[in-house]
Amino acid sequence: MSARSLVEESKKRGSALVESLAIRAVDPMLARDFLRLKNMVDEQSSVEDVAYAFVQDKTGHVMVHTFQKGFPVDLLVVNQDVADETVHIQLLADGSRRIYDFAVPVLVSDGHLGTVRIGLSQARIQQAVQHQITLMAGLFAGALILATSIGTIFARRVTARLGRLRTHAEEMLTGNLDTLSGPTSGVHCWEKQNCKITQCPAYGEVRRRCWYIAGTMCPDCNNEGNFQCRLESCRKCSVYRENAGDEIQDLAETFDVMALTLKTHIDELCDAERNLRDQQRLMRTILDVTPDRVSLIGPTMRYQGCNKSFAESVGMSLAEVEGKTDFDLFEEAEAEERHLAARDILESGARLDTQVKVQGADGDRWYHVVCIPVLNDEGRIDGLLRTDRDITDIKSYENQLIQAQKIESLGLLAGGVAHEINTPLGIILGYAQLLQEDVESGSQIHQDLAIIEKQTQVCKKIVADLLGFSRQSESAKREMCFNNSVMEAISLVRHTLELDKVSILTQLDDRFPIIYGDPEKLKQVWINLLTNARDAMSGKGGTILIRTRLDAPMGIVSLWVADNGSGIGEDVLKKIFDPFFSTKAVDKGTGLGLSVSFGIIKDHDGMIRAISPVPEDFGFPAVQGGQGGVGTVFEVNLPLDHQMGEGQESEKE
């Protein structure tokens, strides 16, 4: 375009030259003043790029020209069409150069005097064009380099900031949320507004601009609506106008806010996770320390979890239990029972609360079973929680309690009956003794009366025992020597026992422990234990070892009566203290001996128990003769503490 403009400009210049020459040539042409004409055309050729100039008269004859030797006749046949007043331009080519030929008629009024021609070399135009091109190319290249440099600098600035954002993003990916991508400069809203509202969430905040903070209390702010609504009100705020930057700064600041929010969120999640973990640990601890067997069963009847106790009971680890069914964990009968119970609960949603007896390798065990359906958020049954509490011991205590209550009831009954029978028995005994005095000694009647007296005495003894059993008899407790009580009882029965080939060995504590008790009743207990031991020999003779020991630190004194008799079976051992329980023949014993002894010892706050066979570490002496059975040991513990015994006694009285 520029080159074309240059050409056009040159054409205009040539036109002006030739027109000027045509006007000036009028007078010399009219005057046929060749010198002036010659001077005029020569003046033209002094112009730098004018190749030639010449003037033709109206017949076409060349009046003057600028050529030195001859006139190039070719010029006479080109650019001849100059009828009108306009300038005619013809591009000519002569060997190496090009020339614009300008022709214009010389007119005076409407009279045609001739033609003026000027040749303008294109070399200068070309040179100008070339110069223009070079200049433009230079300018273009310069502008390009400048633009590229500026663009590069600008792009580098932008990419540097974007790069920093990317780096921070990568750091965020690796977990570092404490990066700061946006600029830290700029005034803060509370400084700019001279704000005193310290409760405002934006007050003192340096990592976020105020417009990123919801719930600001600035009266100029729109605190409602979403971020865009709030931001709209910020655009008029001087704080925003001073601090808001370009898009990249917006991005960086949004990025920072995001990172900060994310960090806060993650911190909260971490706290929640820690809390949850603590709760889980606590729950696990609670579940594991409880002896109850706790298990959680899912809706598909598979175990979802359990506690340690449950896992141990089925011999698996906690992880192994998960996903198992009842049939994987228990024997078929028990599994069937548990499965049916669970299915009923899952179907009905009713709570199950029952006690079941389970047969195990070490005997039957009782369990208190509680099954509770677990509901999900929608209120549907999503599983069940089952707790099996081992209540075998409680069951045992329950049995003992029942037995005690039974004995107490029986004692009351027996006491009442004995008290009533005692009086007539005394009268019968008195009259029998009186009648014996009235009849002849040795007579049949006397013998009969003696039998009556004897049997009555037996009855009285039974009644007395019954009264003792029911604690109807009076107790006379006092400080007494424990060993003396034992020795008295031995001396009373030693002779009789020796008749039955039963020898008595004593290992008494030589510290002569003193207790607070009833000597007579205790003696009755010792005699009972000795006679029972003798009876355990079945008449074959044997050895009875009596041992006493004072345990001062524990405050008790203990007595052991061991024999090498036939021993007591395990099932019998539990019942030997029951009233009227006896393994003897019908007329051989009343079965009240041990139960009365039990009552007396209990009255002394003591304890009595039987162990059969005799433990090997008991130290029973190796003896010859006798049946050599497994033997039985009765152990009696009595407290040394008089005060308590006295207090309890008085309380009972």
Tell me whether residue 12 or residue 351 sits nearer to other proteins (CB atom). 12
Contact code string over 97-116 relative to other proteins, x by CB under 8 A = -x---------xx-x-----
72 binds other proteins, rule: CB under 8 A: yes
Provide the pairing of β-strand 542-551 with 502-507.
parallel
Q: Are 564 and 524 in contact (CB under 8 A)?
A: no
**Smallest distance, other proteins to C-beta of residue 91, A:** 4
78 binds other proteins, rule: CB under 8 A: yes
42 binds other proteins, rule: CB under 8 A: no
Angle in degrees, CA 198, 204, 205, rounded to 5: 130
Tell me whether residue 26 or residue 573 sits nearer to other proteins (CB atom). 26
4 binds other proteins, rule: CB under 8 A: yes
Contact code string over 564-593 relative to other proteins, x by CB under 8 A = ------------------------------
335 binds other proteins, rule: CB under 8 A: no
Tell me whether residue 132 or residue 249 sits nearer to other proteins (CB atom). 132
Tell me whether residue 4 or residue 236 sits nearer to other proteins (CB atom). 4
- Tell me whether the omega of the peptide bond preceding residue 513 falls within 30 degrees of 0, making it cis: no
Closest CA to 653 of 519, 471, 417: 471
Count of CA atoms in the C-beta half-sphere (13 A) of 270: 6
Q: Are 585 and 624 in contact (CB under 8 A)?
A: no
The pair of structure tokens assigned to 26 is: 């009028």
The alpha carbon dihedral of 383, 388, 389, 394 has a sign of positive
The alpha carbon dihedral of 621, 623, 627, 628 has a sign of positive
**Smallest distance, other proteins to C-beta of residue 33, A:** 8
16 binds other proteins, rule: CB under 8 A: no
**Smallest distance, other proteins to C-beta of residue 135, A:** 11
What is the helix (H) or strand (E) element at residue 319, kind and residue range? helix 318-321
Closest CA to 603 of 570, 642, 649, 635: 649
Select the residue interacting with other proteins from 94, 191, 220, 232 (CB under 8 A).
94
Select the residue interacting with other proteins from 9, 12, 16, 27 (CB under 8 A).
27
Select the residue interacting with other proteins from 39, 71, 84, 250 (CB under 8 A).
71
Closest CA to 293 of 389, 221, 373: 389
Number of residues that bind other proteins (CB under 8 A): 50
Please enumerate in sequence order all residues whose Cβ is within 8 A of that of 180, keeping only pairs 6 or more positions apart, or say none.
168, 207, 256
Strands annotated E in 376-511: 381-390, 478-481, 502-507
Select the residue interacting with other proteins from 30, 169, 272, 630 (CB under 8 A).
30
Q: Which of residues 109-148 bind other proteins (CB under 8 A)?
A: 109, 111, 125, 129, 132-133, 136-137, 140-141, 144-145, 148
Q: How far apart are CA 79 and CA 59, in angstroms?
A: 15
96 binds other proteins, rule: CB under 8 A: no
Q: How far apart are CA 248 and CA 182, in angstroms?
A: 9
Q: Are 564 and 543 in contact (CB under 8 A)?
A: yes
Q: How far apart are CA 552 and CA 603, in angstroms?
A: 21
Q: Which window, 63-71, 333-341, 351-359, 583-591, contacts other proteins (CB under 8 A)?
A: 63-71
Q: How far apart are CA 45 and CA 92, in angstroms?
A: 17
Q: How far apart are CA 118 and CA 19, in angstroms?
A: 10
Q: How far apart are CA 537 and CA 284, in angstroms?
A: 58
85 binds other proteins, rule: CB under 8 A: no
262 binds other proteins, rule: CB under 8 A: no
Q: Which window, 3-11, 304-312, 397-405, 526-534, contacts other proteins (CB under 8 A)?
A: 3-11
**Smallest distance, other proteins to C-beta of residue 53, A:** 13
Tell me whether residue 109 or residue 184 sits nearer to other proteins (CB atom). 109
Tell me whether residue 70 or residue 315 sits nearer to other proteins (CB atom). 70
Q: Which window, 2-10, 321-329, 385-393, 620-628, contacts other proteins (CB under 8 A)?
A: 2-10
Q: Are 181 and 168 in contact (CB under 8 A)?
A: yes
Tell me whether residue 145 or residue 187 sits nearer to other proteins (CB atom). 145
**Smallest distance, other proteins to C-beta of residue 73, A:** 5
Q: How far apart are CA 13 and CA 3, in angstroms?
A: 15
> What are the residues binding other proteins (CB under 8 A)?
1-4, 6-7, 26-27, 30-33, 52, 59, 61-63, 65, 67, 69-75, 78-79, 90-95, 98, 108-109, 111, 125, 129, 132-133, 136-137, 140-141, 144-145, 148, 152
